[in-house]
Chain A
Amino acid sequence: MAKLHIVNKSPFERSSLDSCLSKSTEGSTILLIEDAVVGALKGTVVADKLTAAIANKNVCVLGSDLNTRGFTEAEILDGIKTVDYAGFVDLVAEHSNVQSWL
């Protein structure tokens, strides 16, 4: 089973998304939560990196953290899936191992 990676830092301030992208393998899932959700928005300087990641990894964003920060599903990159907390729980259960990129 593949691995679930959780990132919670804005990619505009910290490098944890880069670290995660460089050490997550094909078929793994990356979940953006807390301040990391802004990395999923369209038109940012990290959009190309995430679009590249979507080609062979699953990228998800925690919808409630997106809404909390004033954004909706309509504003995120195509190919990124929005999940709620129940979906977050399912992701953890469906993957063999979880790593938080702090």
Chain B
Amino acid sequence: MERTELTRRKFIRLAALTSLAAAGAKIGCRRSPMSSRSTPEPEPSTEARHWTRMEGKTVQCQLCFRNCTIREGGRGFCGVRENRDGTLYSLVYGRPCSVTPGSPMEKLALYHVVPGSLRLNLATAGCNFRCSFCHNWEIATRAPEEVKSRDLSPIEAVDVAVENNLEFIAFTYTEPTIFYEYMYDIARLARGRGLRTLLNTNGAMSPDPLKQLLPHLDAVNVDLKAFTSEFYQKAVSHARMEPVLTTLKVIEEQGTWCEIVNLIIPTLNDALDRIGEMCLWIRDEMGSGIPVHFTRFFPAYKQTRLPPTPVETLEKARDVALEAGLEYVYIGNVPGHAANSTYCPNCGRILIERVHFSVLSNHIEDGACPFCSQPIPGIWT
């Protein structure tokens, strides 16, 4: 019995060794159908801002609501801020993975900012949320070394916008909070060269860095994903809602132009009573003139079985918002829907006619309705 066991074990070991050896000998003999994805270690990057030293070499990042405590050699939740020898570094400074010029303003869901204009989009790898319905999961859920990025200093980034005759630079796709330093420096430089800057955020940045950043931004789009802490907790990987509401209040206080997007996902955040509460909160805290976009969900990332949002749900949400007193309520992602256009809250005439992200006509004159002179808030020139 014992001998059997011995030989069997020996056999397994031998077999394992031989197959390993054989496999090893064969590697590289033939061109692989998949190009190799060996990626170098991330370059030493710029020292991060908004963090503090704790005991020993442990640091705490204070950029977003997570306030990650990061031990030596570790990284924060976002995967792009690393503690090296007691100092926190940003691994994505000057290393964008997405640089796309020429994207329409309406695609960002900023309907009250120079309609029909085009912008440069910038993003790096990483995110401080993990939404199961993420559209950009291929960069948002990955570490910098798992993503193809390019070197692009803030000056060069601004150059790209200027070369492409683009007046706007937008920080978007992943959560720009996590490349705060890069964004901040670009925003300052861009302003200096007469460009304007836009932020598309989940709103979970901490108030201090946000207050420092806002003076360098022209418009912010905040994704208010739901009006329940439960949704943030479950669908966004232990995130919280309060920080997002705080962000909205800070933006309102500082007077930066802001629009709110609410992606309605069937069964996850489509309860009308919560949407109603959200609208009342927005009206009371942000005023009735802030544009609110209800957008249609389409299956993405891990949420491939949920159906697209019924258009009726979006329409009901819009009715609830209008009832609450909000004046500019849009339905997005439903091409051809009437609520994709801007109407004068006073006389009801159509002011900006939109289909999806194309602007067909724009009647606004000097920031006001040409028919009844009602001022329309926004950045129109």
| A, B co-complexed | no
Binding site for B on A (CB under 8 A): none
